[in-house]
Amino acid sequence: MARDTKLRTRTQEGKVEVLVLINHPMETGMRKDKASGKPIAAHYIKELTLEHNGKLVAAANMGIGVSENPLIGFRLASAKNGDKLKVGWNDNQGETGTAEAVVDVS
């Protein structure tokens, strides 16, 4: 299933803030389905990466403690208008997602 990953930028305290919104269920594996009583399988993002102009600048190991549809932010001091950003993620069930954007803080 393709999951929507959105990436946008804005200026925050003199730096470029990168906001990543991922449409993902982030299931812990500890809940039960109310109708059947059966456990809901764990389904969570394991790793998130951020590239700035093709260079890896951040990597986050994630897990079951992150909420559904996470919004994650990074601040880049060296980013400027026109720079290219790319975010990628993978989860424990083999799903992946990416999004690309160009810094536009005008």
Number of domains in the chain: 1
Task: Report the pLDDT value the prediction gives residue 58, as an integer from 0 to 100.
Answer: 96
What is the value of pTM for the model shown? 0.91
Q: Print the domain residue range for 82.
A: 5-27+42-102
- Which of 25, 22, 60 lies closest to 44, judged by CA? 25
What's the CATH code of the domain at 63? 2.60.40.10
| Residues in Cβ contact with 23 at an 8 Å cutoff, skipping those fewer than 6 apart | 3, 4, 5, 69
Name the CA dihedral angle for 84, 92, 19, 3, rounded to a multiple of 10 degrees.
80
> What pLDDT does residue 78 have?
92
**Bridge partner residues of 24 (DSSP):** none
pLDDT of 101 strictly over 70: yes
